[in-house]
Amino acid sequence: MLEGGVPQEDMDKVAGQIDNIVDLVRSGINVLIHCKGGVGRASLVAACMLMRLEICPDPDFAVAYLRKVRSPNAVETIRQEDFIDLYYKYNQGEPRLQGLFSPTKGSRPDSQSTISSVQSSN
């Protein structure tokens, strides 16, 4: 994912990746979510995980929670907020959301930056 960006994979694939991380957490494995600054892309993944783990009931709560406990800058772009909303709707059983995620409202252009990584540790 580029700086300020969102996953570009099919939503089924992204949801599967989030589910894999959630399964690790549920099995007691510590998981580190990391990007260059630790607030945009990492917070996007964390927000999706918090909803999937049913710690946060919806996108607004998840983003507000992360902005309180992590950083006021958590989830940096409207595009990232839109993705979290789309992920929530996907998991609520709305019609299968296929294809690439490409919101346009309020999106900031991506810069050519680092690719985020998700690492697990014990």
Which active-site residues does the annotation give? 35
Would you give the DSSP letter of residue 93? T
**Cα separation, 52 vs 40, whole angstroms:** 19
Three-state DSSP state, 34: strand
For residue 73, give both structure tokens: 């800058």
